[in-house]
Structure 1
């Protein structure tokens, strides 16, 4: 069997990193394509790859195509014409179902980094995967389609961390606290690190898994200070997040929570925007009769996350604090990764938030291409053997550290 052709969809900050990682590993694939609605954005990514001299095989360049990822017939035609057998979805989460449908129809493996959302629905009832992706599980299995859901960092690597800890360090797990802090500074007054529209839609209400049931709490109503490796003491807030929705089903644990770090300044800006209605996804009409969506206006006013990279300094720390038992004794264990913004920019002209999301998804694609993760069914990352994933990530720039507390 020849090497498999791969299609990378999207040309944002995470796709920028993913394309660099594909270039660095282009000997492992057949033809590599980058597709987006914006050919200009694709061209900018390819220019960056050339600047950094990141093609492993310099005679085998990434090719670009223009595509509307919501148009299923157009997607199917493109994938058939290019003989695509692995598709990496890094466009808006609003497109997940159309891309997955195209993969099921053409036989391509599918990888994404976040749960599907509908533009007019925010924070639906949990578990979120059951609303969309998991409804296609039987069809994927019937057609032997490998579909790996949530294969970025969180979700993704943090799910692999749980599987790794369960496999090597615990007999039973009581609590899982996933913690994500960005201790970097980009110098702008206010910005999100990835798509503002998707970012703010997360912060409507908190769905969390406590004592084996779903609990809904107000956003930013619970916080604590945790002393992280390398980046030190950081304030983190209980937040709803994608990975809880699969881990609650696939991992036998009493409580699973997600915590994200925010500065006081971020919280103040967020509260002002929220309290005056600018984070609403519902259309409003201006005095001039123009219909606008407030959240989209805020997105248009904020910096494009890609533009933050040259100015970022500092580090991120993301990991899982897991409490359980081993050989009859209580065990508290931290498994985590630290990433440096400046290192990321020097390697791929990106900041660490995009780097930690874009690198793992290509690691997953490599494992599919090699056969290790080509499981011919739909899975979340914690259902897969984590060791080859974490080993490969170390070679690709994301190392894993562990400590018993």
Structure 2
């Protein structure tokens, strides 16, 4: 556990410090300058992240399957682009650390590059990425996370109503994970209407319904059985029949690093506070991109409760999973800039809570595969 703490905190600290430098450069240049993303303070932390997780061993539940498939081939048929890169690097005899480096770099690059015009978020994205244990998802469901990071990048084209560029991104995401077909419906939903949840009372109403459904899993299954079967059949996942939703192993998120028990109440606190301040945040940022971002984040929060214990049902919502990292960053920045004591104390509580949850995740590192090892230690 000590090695894990040292590796993760060192990486996070380096990324945060670089993020602060990048944010200060933005402030110095001002909004009238077209500031390039490609500077040492933005690229070095991305390379550091990719090097660390490229050299990891058995971090992420699916790591052994990816490693075995890379070294010895796999019986499964993967999407075209993922298979092309995997087989090409494997045939060339490239070490698997470089293989995992590549995927980690693409994921973290897209995460930060998406917000290249809002560099004030960089230090906080770096903090929550590690201390929120969101990196575990990136290290686990690699194919879909690659698609999800491409989708995150594509949101700017919904805001600017560049339909062709958006769907080219969806096509690219599809070449990594075919469930990206779901993303075709996102553009028409948000190209004209940016804010689907403008009223706080309406959000709280939906939030309470989601909390209720979270303790009535059988009811959720009945409600989604028909569309679930249609979706899995259309994407060629006929083996994911309705009965799989009752498989205890596949419907427990504990092994993927998510907190249970006290962690659930903490998530209620975090999300409900953000909802409470949502109107002020929308007014503060005054940006159509943020409205789209917030709506998708809120959908993810509802999904956390409704399908939170199901690995299978969570798959469609992986595409909005990474928005949680950035929304936390948006919120903390908002609180710190208000110069009011209560929001600043709330921001501090968000940071302290994630440090505690981070230590809690590492304390169960053998179970949730967060315990960090370098490949040369095996």
TM-score interval, smaller chain: under 0.3
Structure with the bigger percentage of strand: 1
TM-score normalised by the chain length of structure 2: 0.26
TM-score normalised by the chain length of structure 1: 0.25
Structure with bigger RCO (C-alpha 8 Å, 6+ apart): 2
Structure with the bigger percentage of helix: 2
